[in-house]
Chain A
């Protein structure tokens, strides 16, 4: 388990050092390229901002109205039987449908329970190993007009369920 913590601490510095070393060895003006690349970050964040406002507003309404609690409590008995945090149920479902809506719920969970609560940690890990299956599938297959997707959906769901299960097991061991 110590290795995992070390991995968390080391990976970003290692990536930065490695890329910088590559840049210098190719005689690249690394600082100039960095600032140029940082501009892209502005564009991305500004592009996401309107979506984020819209979705956080919608999730804010769901939370304040008590709807999220109603959903969590309805599924709680089944969720708790397998040791699944009940407050992570709405986000697990939404994750398959919409990336921005699930980000909205993620932020709501951080705000309501804190990022260092068990639910907060679990959803952080879970978000990094799952994908918006339904959206991605329809976008990619529709772009080439394919209607028979065969075992793609089943495979994607298997992968995502495996990711969620692994997150739950790992988080229980680390922070249970």
Chain B
């Protein structure tokens, strides 16, 4: 996807610049932005490492297992078709928790394994099961505690209060997740 998207962005930009006579600006814009990416990464290095360091303590303290346990009744309600002791439940829990804590890189492998487990329970192998639909919709509603990267980006651009968006972010992410669950449950009832 990015393979074409990236090229298209550049081609369109340069084409428009040729028509608007802004090729000089484009040259500076390209070089400047590439330079800025590195400056941002330096800020990110600090903030992200702080976060992964804290999370690592939590992992070692067994916080993930504790959260998985607390999540069980909720997941049981969300996925009535999946047997409670099935491996799919564990993978789903891992994915949800990783996303919740803002650990996208850990969420994806767990999520893909969850899909594989859900597929083993699926009767029609080319058609998404109810549980799969719910899992995907829930996953894409992006339930997360803190968008630590957004805070870091705001910091980089000298926001007076980089963390002021955490609270609003938590509320809106709850709204989108509630909408996701409601939609999934309604569709299950209809079909």
Contact = CB atoms under 8 A, between A and B. Distances in A.
Interface residues of A, number: 108
A121 B145 CA distance: 18
Interface residues of B, number: 100
A133 B60 contact: no
B contact patch SS: helix
Contacts, number: 355
B184 A7 contact: no
A138 B58 contact: no
Given A37-B52, A52-B41, A156-B141, A64 B28 contact: yes
Nearest to B149: A103
A70 interface: yes
Contact of A146 (B2, B56, B132, B175): B132
22 contacts: A15-B145, A26-B62, A37-B52, A37-B59, A41-B53, A56-B36, A56-B37, A58-B9, A107-B153, A110-B154, A115-B159, A128-B142, A128-B150, A129-B142, A131-B140, A146-B125, A146-B128, A148-B128, A155-B137, A155-B140, A160-B140, A167-B172
Top 10 closest pairs, chain A to chain B, by CB: A37-B56, A60-B33, A64-B29, A41-B49, A163-B176, A7-B167, A128-B169, A65-B17, A61-B13, A162-B179
Interface of B: 1-2, 5-6, 9-10, 12-14, 16-17, 20, 22, 25-26, 28-30, 32-34, 36-38, 40-41, 44-45, 48-63, 105, 108, 111-112, 115-116, 118-119, 124-128, 132-133, 136-137, 139-142, 144-147, 149-150, 153-154, 156-173, 175-180, 183-184, 187
Interface of A: 3-9, 11-12, 15-16, 19-20, 22-23, 25-26, 28, 30, 33-42, 44-49, 52-67, 70, 97-98, 100-101, 103-104, 106-108, 110-111, 114-116, 120-121, 124-131, 133-141, 143-152, 154-156, 158-160, 162-163, 166-167, 170-171, 174
